[in-house]
Amino acid sequence: MKLEGTVRIETERLILRPFVMEDAAAMYRNWAGDSEVTKYLTWPPHESEDATRQLLEGWIAEYVKPDFFQWAIELRESGEAIGSISIVRMQENTMSAEVGWCIGRRWWNRGIMTEAASALLEYLFEKAGFARVSARHDPNNPASGRVMQKIGMRYEGTLRRCDVNNQGIVDTACYGLSREEYENGAETFRPMRRSAQSLDEAECAAILEGAASGVLAVYGDGGYPYTVPVSHVYKDGRLYFHCAKTGHKLDAIRRCDRVSFCVIDRDEVRPDELTTRYVSVIVFGRARIVSDEPGLRHIAGLMAAKYAAEHAEAARKETEEAIAADRLRGVEITVEHMSGKCARELMAERRRNG
């Protein structure tokens, strides 16, 4: 490994850099003094700016060490520190590092932490030479886990009652990524290259819920990808649709349950700007074929509520007839990862509109 300490890292919106004493006021104001930010962390909120200054004094003294890694996350547009990201544990004999982060509430759900963590991952693998990078979070704080997923880390399991944070003794969900997986993208969800254009999970969910249809991609005959448009329902982290009892897509799901699903919320060609204004969401997950009567009624009910709410009785009657004749099947997709992307121009509009 090549350990150079806390070097400066720049991204489109951010600068990751060593802390300075002048950051104390912003750090205390933006995150260190906020009990909501520290709710699932291992240290309590600072009671005063003096407490923040004392912590920074210790960090700054450590920057002379090549194995000390503690970055301030500075927002380019304001020049203000809005969070921190660091290596919290390191093992040189296995060339591995565990990273952690936090960011002020004002900057949640804007893709900023994903952008920072993705840049740090690139530095640790490509410059510092680490062989493995990991992270973990309290399962009651899923937002942190979504960052881990977005930067390509794999979920490795949940350790029960093995950690302590401001909530007490808690479970911890573990994620990790090896250098080989990072380089090859093997069985991982790759981080979005232009993370500044990424949508947060709530925005992705809203698009999936509202879209009239999407395109399902499965492992088709002869190893060829097979894509097919389907009407769908998204609810509580799962996608649903129903179909005939036989067909290409069901055969493909039986062959391999790993699927992808895409919806396009907006697709507007702007010839005068030589660009396209688009909003899209891609989902990866595991598909399960549903054939039992309660499961089929559940899926059919969800579909009817979305697509035929004014004709509920007719939809119910048709469902019962299809079940009785054994000609209906359902599919439930458990979402493992989702990402949304928005054209740069539309993202700028979203930020201006708050």
CATH of the domain at 57: 3.40.630.30
Task: State the residue range of the domain holding 257.
Answer: 203-352
- Does residue 198 lie in a domain region? no
Residues of the chain with pLDDT under 50: 186-187
Phi/psi at 26 (5° precision): -65, -40
The per-residue pLDDT for 353 is: 61
Residue 186, pLDDT score = 44
> In this structure, how many other beta carbons lie within 10 angstroms of the beta carbon of residue 143?
14
What's the CA dihedral at 352, 23, 35, 16 to 10 degrees?
60
Do 298 and 319 meet the contact criterion of CB atoms below 8 Å apart?
no
Residues 66 and 114 in one domain: yes
State the Cα–Cα distance between residues 40 and 172, nearest whole angstrom.
Answer: 11
Question: Which residues, at least 6 apart from 246, have a Cβ–Cβ distance to it below 8 Å?
Answer: none
Q: How many structural domains is the chain composed of?
A: 2
31 and 124, same domain (yes or no)? yes
Q: What's the confidence (pLDDT) of residue 237?
A: 85
Question: 123 and 260: one domain?
Answer: no
Query: Is 2 within a domain?
Result: no
User: Which of 169, 191, 213 is the last residue in one of the domains?
Assistant: 191
pLDDT at position 61 is: 98
Q: Are residues 171 and 50 in the same domain?
A: yes
E strands in the chain:
9-10, 14-18, 70-75, 80-91, 96-103, 132-137, 154-165, 168-178, 198-199, 214-219, 225-230, 233-235, 238-244, 258-270, 275-290, 328-342
Is 51 domain-assigned? yes
pLDDT for 354: 54
Domain boundary among 191, 217, 240: 191
Residue with tokens 């809005």: 82
Boundary (domain end) residue, out of 161, 191, 221: 191
Q: Cβ(242)–Cβ(296) under 8 Å?
A: yes
pLDDT for res 273: 74
Residues 20, 83, single domain; the answer is yes
User: Do both 279 and 314 map to the same domain?
Assistant: yes
**Both 121 and 265 in a single domain?**
no
Q: What is the pLDDT of residue 184?
A: 75
Same domain, 165 and 232: no
Rounded-to-integer distance, Cα 206 and Cα 204, Å: 5
Q: Which residues contact 113 (CB under 8 A, 6 or more apart)?
A: 73, 83, 85, 101, 103, 107, 147
CB contact set of 91 (below 8 Å; sequence gap of 6+): 97
Helical axes 142-150 vs 112-126, angle rounded to 10°: 50
The answer to whether the pTM exceeds 0.85 is no
Q: Give the Cβ contact number of residue 142 at 10 Å.
A: 12
d(C-alpha 70, C-alpha 67), whole Å: 10
Q: How many helices (H) and strands (E) does the chain have?
A: 10, 16
Domain membership of residue 348 (yes or no) is: yes
Any domain includes 30: yes
Q: Kindly calculate the radius of gyration of the chain based on its CA atoms and give it in whole angstroms.
A: 23
Whether residues 168 and 207 fall in one domain: no
Could you tell me if residue 241 is inside a domain? Answer: yes
Q: Could you give phi then psi for residue 167, rounded to 5 degrees? A: -95, -5
- 210 and 178 in a common domain: no
